[in-house]
A = this chain, B = another copy of it.
Amino acid sequence: MQFQPLDPLLHSELRLAVMSLLISADEAEFPYIKEQTGATAGNLSVQIDKLSAAGYIEVEKTFKGKRPCTICRITDMGRHAFEAYVEALKSYLTVCKP
């Protein structure tokens, strides 16, 4: 088969956006991710949980002054998964095939 399978965890608009942000930012707070992705808080919370459960990101729940603050970071595993996903995608996007 000429098409490589696409990691279903990353093949999701919002989760991919979150990973994309974290790849280049290395660390980001929940409200920032929410703003950058345009997602609702509920949806974002769920998708962050999934990425975290898969070990693609790590989530630190801390406080900023007296308010809760959720910080996300990408893991090595997440970085590798993202790279593999991009490679797999290429098998679908290359216009000229041999």
Taking Cβ atoms with an 8 Å cutoff, the residues of A that contact B are 1-3, 5-6, 11, 13, 16-17, 20, 23-24, 36-38, 86, 89, 92-93, 95-97
CA separation between A5 and B35, bound complex, in Å?
A: 15
Q: Which residues of B contact A16 (CB under 8 A)?
A: 92
Which has the most chain B C-beta neighbours within 10 Å: A16, A24, A86, A92? Answer: A92
Minimum CB–CB distance for A38 against chain B, Å: 5
Q: Which residues of B contact A96 (CB under 8 A)?
A: 24
Secondary structure class of chain A's binding surface, majority of residues: helix
Structural contact, B38 and A20, CB atoms closer than 8 A: no
Q: Which residues of B contact A92 (CB under 8 A)?
A: 16-17, 20
Count of chain copies: 2
A–B pairs, 18, beta carbons within 8 Å = A1-B36, A1-B37, A2-B36, A3-B13, A3-B20, A3-B38, A5-B13, A11-B11, A11-B13, A16-B92, A17-B92, A20-B92, A23-B95, A24-B95, A24-B96, A24-B97, A89-B89, A89-B93
